[in-house]
Amino acid sequence: MQIILLSGGSGKRLWPLSNDVRSKQFIKFFKTEDGGHESMVQRMYNGIKRVIPDADITVATGKSQASSLMNQLGESVEICVEPARRDTFPAIALAAAFLKYVKNIDEEEAVVVCPVDPYVEDDYFEAIRRIGEAVIENGANITLMGIKPTYPSEKYGYIVPREDGTVESFKEKPDLEGAKALLQKNALWNGGVFGFKLGYMIGKTHEFIDYKDFTDLKARYDSLTKISIDYAVVEKEQNIRVISFDGDWMDVGTWKTLTDVMEEHSVGNVHFDDTCENTHVINEIDVPILAMGLKNVVVAASADGIIVADKNQSSYMKPYVDKIEGPVMYAEKSWGSYRVLDIEDAGMTVKVTLMPGHSMNYHSHERRDEIWTVIEGEGVAIVDGKNREVGIGDTIFLPKGCKHTIKATTLLKVMEVQVGTDIDVKDKIKHEL
Amino acid sequence: MQIILLSGGSGKRLWPLSNDVRSKQFIKFFKTEDGGHESMVQRMYNGIKRVIPDADITVATGKSQASSLMNQLGESVEICVEPARRDTFPAIALAAAFLKYVKNIDEEEAVVVCPVDPYVEDDYFEAIRRIGEAVIENGANITLMGIKPTYPSEKYGYIVPREDGTVESFKEKPDLEGAKALLQKNALWNGGVFGFKLGYMIGKTHEFIDYKDFTDLKARYDSLTKISIDYAVVEKEQNIRVISFDGDWMDVGTWKTLTDVMEEHSVGNVHFDDTCENTHVINEIDVPILAMGLKNVVVAASADGIIVADKNQSSYMKPYVDKIEGPVMYAEKSWGSYRVLDIEDAGMTVKVTLMPGHSMNYHSHERRDEIWTVIEGEGVAIVDGKNREVGIGDTIFLPKGCKHTIKATTLLKVMEVQVGTDIDVKDKIKHEL
């Protein structure tokens, strides 16, 4: 069975932990059994691996997320990178082409596409397996996951099933009265999960898009129409069935819904007094947070900023966050992470963490010198072609124009002081090593 | 007229902005006319200078505060440093000895002692001038400032005046019924302000303490009994008068009282939504804080930590703050300031800011190397006796044991990466230059 995990989106609804480069699925909110924390994408990926061990997972994502995915899921994760931002149909078409033309998956094999961002338990992964099995057995072209609704919500799509499991109709985001009427008809929420045989989707993609193979489709990806799979395929398909899922399923797109599913009231260095109620504090920075006498409040602190909000009010953050400008202060990359510690007119100080065996790109800058000081671990610095072994306390001066990289032998931490005017992430020229 | 400003205390009631090395009077809460912010000590010092231009001010303080005082009030401020922590009588005795034996002030001159930490307006400084004048005119040995009480508080001392301005009795911290009864008798709160002729206090100090001159008293300061001036002198004095002050006067020792007197709802990079009520945010760090839907909340963020508290609840912070451990992350010094940006097992990164013309002590370390990178300004580094002019982008390697300092020609900012084990502020040996 093939799973295509859709890891899309980015945005600021969970600011300051989500931002332009860090989608909510990468934030480590959830407690693991070993006492650590995992992100939504780790939870989803590991859950599928655990419950459906024979499933092959491919993550379909944009290029801005590939690095974070490798950081969190490991280098060996199969990623199908969309060269541009389109909607779910182009993304699924590309992933399907990847499975057929690159991985040589048989067209009779079941594929289940699912979003990465609902909060679910293991029974959800079992439902995914049932959908994969149903794809082979039930003869339908598309098998959907219908979520048993818990209340008449206006924000989901509704699937009205017949008794035999086929689908009578769809209704996207009804009003409250409409939602109530749909619940009377045993309608199910559309969980965004689609099961089909690989050949079916390959056929659909060739119907819509004139392409030869994966490489060809990728090359013309830029020019594809933005359209969701619901509009492009599902709404037009007659031979469609739905499998009902009534376990825990929650859209955790806001601080309020997210904190509802957190097992702990805090993550990170956090202290509460005895009078806090229904208050959650997520602290990603080094200094302690003390919360006293708060009711229904969420506090979140990251290198980018701090929000302190009444949980209900936090849903209305977008216009306020849009006004807050500033560079991205923290990012996870395939090779490790970086964090901006200080910004001055003529300089910036960045802490770079490299995972063992990894290195950054070989690159140079036109408008800044850099001074590296190794503060943890060992590695090899390469400056204008010359190798030099470095360890704690070693400094490397990198004048404007010099080509440089550093490779981590062990976990390596480097304090990088950038000095120059017009310091900008775009001032970076990559070179072949 | 001589003013002795008592700048004492330290503590955590305004954590994370106050801490073991930074007393509340140094936090810049108050808006100035030019749009900047000033601290309580700056407000008090500048207010006295403005309203009583002919007053000479001496700040009596502990050695831990001398550096911060010079940073905030300028190098030329007259400071009488207590070599150890005693109570107000030894502090005033030392300051009086300083005025007589070092400054050669006439024993007939009026001295007014006042605490640095009430929140007051200009009429308070005028009342101080009236007390200084009364000291000369009224023939009393001590003239107190009596604050017109606004409510029957249990936390102040009460002075019961006679109609002629002499004092009938004192009552320290009565219970609520007692306070109400005292208000009926037109009792005044004790504002902690004492006026006297210099010779009177010199006489009292010689009565209690066997010393020759300022240097002698300072040398034996360690051995003095801890006693307040109220117990040592005021309570025993018969010839005492009180002058009533009924302007604004407020003890701003807690987040609740402090935010009551702040003119603005925020200091620093702060954003509010439209639904916050009676909420104050003080942000001393670089990243933005967004507050949404909060009622009666105070948020304060510094390099040491973040508090988010219901204003009433914040008064009970002490036991929680006591549990929070960590090094001091930010300090103002006579020469500038330092801020810890990052702490690792084998290293620490500190941003050092030196004011023009200033330098740090000439010193060495036993257990750490340091790497300096100049990120702003120009200066002269001295390493093992050798001078070197440095500017932006220059790095200086300071191995263990080397003697070093840097002198700022202009405002100078240096990123200091410390590398070594057991990094500790105590690992510092001072040398003569």
- pLDDT, tens digit (0-9, with 9 covering 90-100), for A141-160: 999 999 999 999 998 999 99
CA–CA distances in Å: residue A427 to residues A88, A226, A421, B334, B391:
33, 32, 11, 38, 23
Q: How confident is the model at residue B329 (pLDDT cuts 50, 70, 90)?
A: confident
pLDDT at B23: 86
pLDDT at A326 over 80: no
Q: Which fold would CATH assign to domain A2-251? A: Spore Coat Polysaccharide Biosynthesis Protein SpsA; Chain A (3.90.550)
Let me know if B227 is exposed, middle or buried by CB neighbors in 10 A (0-12, 13-18, 19+): middle
pLDDT at A331 over 90: no
Prior bond of A356 cis (ω within 30°)? no
pLDDT at B200 over 70: yes
pLDDT at A346: 85
d(CA B312, CA B259) in angstroms, rounded, equals 11
Q: How confident is the model at residue B2 (pLDDT cuts 50, 70, 90)?
A: very high
What are the two backbone dihedrals, phi and then psi, of residue B346, each rounded to the nearest 5 degrees? -115, 25
Chain A stretch 410-429, residues whose beta carbon is closer than 8 A to a beta carbon of chain B: 413, 415, 417, 419-420
Quick check: A211 and A217 in contact, CB under 8 A? yes
Mean pLDDT of B179-205: 95
Q: How far away is chain B from the Cα of A314, in angstroms, using its nearest Cα?
A: 7
d(CA A402, CA A421) in angstroms, rounded, equals 17
> Which chain A residues are within 8 Å of B420, Cβ to Cβ?
393
B44 touches chain A (CB under 8 A): no
Rg of chain A (C-alpha set): 24
Per-chain mean pLDDT for chain A: 93
CB-based contacts of A426, cutoff 8 Å, min separation 6? none
pLDDT at A309: 98
The shortest CB-CB distance from A273 to any of B288, B313, B329 is to: B313
Chain B stretch 114-173, residues whose beta carbon is closer than 8 A to a beta carbon of chain A: none
d(CA B301, CA A306) in angstroms, rounded, equals 9
> Which chain A residues are within 8 Å of B277, Cβ to Cβ?
none
* A20 vs A218, higher pLDDT: A218
User: At which residue do the structure tokens 């051995």 appear?
Assistant: B223
pLDDT at B21 over 80: no
pLDDT at A10: 67
The shortest CB-CB distance from B349 to any of A293, A297, A415 is to: A415
pLDDT at A22 over 90: no
Total length of chain A: 433
Mean pLDDT of B287-304: 96
Query: B348 by DSSP, 3-state: which?
Result: strand
| Contact across the interface for A313 and B292, Cβ inside 8 Å | yes
Least confident of A14-28, A290-304, B260-274: A14-28
pLDDT at A405: 96
Write out the two tokens for B122. Answer: 């200009």
Q: How far away is chain A from the Cα of B414, in angstroms, using its nearest Cα?
A: 10
Hey, where are the domains in chain B? 2-251, 264-323, 335-430
Name the DSSP letter for residue B381.
E
Total length of chain B: 433
d(CA B332, CA B60) in angstroms, rounded, equals 18
Quick check: B180 and B152 in contact, CB under 8 A? yes
Write out the two tokens for A12. Answer: 């600021």
Quick check: A373 and A351 in contact, CB under 8 A? no
> Which chain B residues are within 8 Å of A371, Cβ to Cβ?
371, 373, 393, 395
pLDDT at B160: 94
CA–CA distances in Å: residue A138 to residues A113, A134, A196, A259:
17, 5, 11, 39
CB atoms within 10 A of CB A157: 18
Mean pLDDT of A72-96: 93
A378 touches chain B (CB under 8 A): no
Let me know if A315 is exposed, middle or buried by CB neighbors in 10 A (0-12, 13-18, 19+): middle
Least confident of A46-50, B199-203, B418-422: B418-422
Mean pLDDT of A338-366: 93
A351 touches chain B (CB under 8 A): yes
Query: B96 by DSSP, 3-state: which?
Result: helix
> Which chain B residues are within 8 Å of A369, Cβ to Cβ?
393
> Which chain B residues are within 8 Å of A412, Cβ to Cβ?
none
Q: Fold identical between B2-251 and B335-430? A: no
> Which chain B residues are within 8 Å of A343, Cβ to Cβ?
286
> Which chain B residues are within 8 Å of A417, Cβ to Cβ?
373, 375, 415, 417
In this prediction the ipTM stands at: 0.86
- Cα dihedral A275, A277, A280, A283 in deg (nearest 10): -10
The model's pLDDT over B399-430, given as tens digits with 9 standing for 90+, comes to: 999 999 999 999 999 999 999 888 787 889 99
Q: Percent of chain B beyond pLDDT 70? A: 100
Quick check: B383 and B389 in contact, CB under 8 A? no
| Contact across the interface for A417 and B309, Cβ inside 8 Å | no
The shortest CB-CB distance from A375 to any of B301, B346, B351 is to: B346
Mean pLDDT of B313-335: 88
Amino acid at A260: D
**In whole angstroms, what separates CA B406 from the centre of its chain?**
27
Amino acid at A121: E
Residue of B nearest to A295 (CA): B310
Per-chain mean pLDDT for chain B: 93
The shortest CB-CB distance from B344 to any of A297, A349, A376 is to: A376
Q: Beta strand pairing status for A118-120 and A188-197?
A: unpaired
CB-based contacts of A92, cutoff 8 Å, min separation 6? A4, A6, A60, A113, A194, A201, A229
Q: Percent of chain B beyond pLDDT 90? A: 76
- Assign domain B335-430 to its CATH architecture: Sandwich (2.60)
| Contact across the interface for B376 and A305, Cβ inside 8 Å | no
pLDDT at B326: 77
Least confident of A24-38, A223-237, A325-339: A325-339
d(CA A330, CA B315) in angstroms, rounded, equals 35
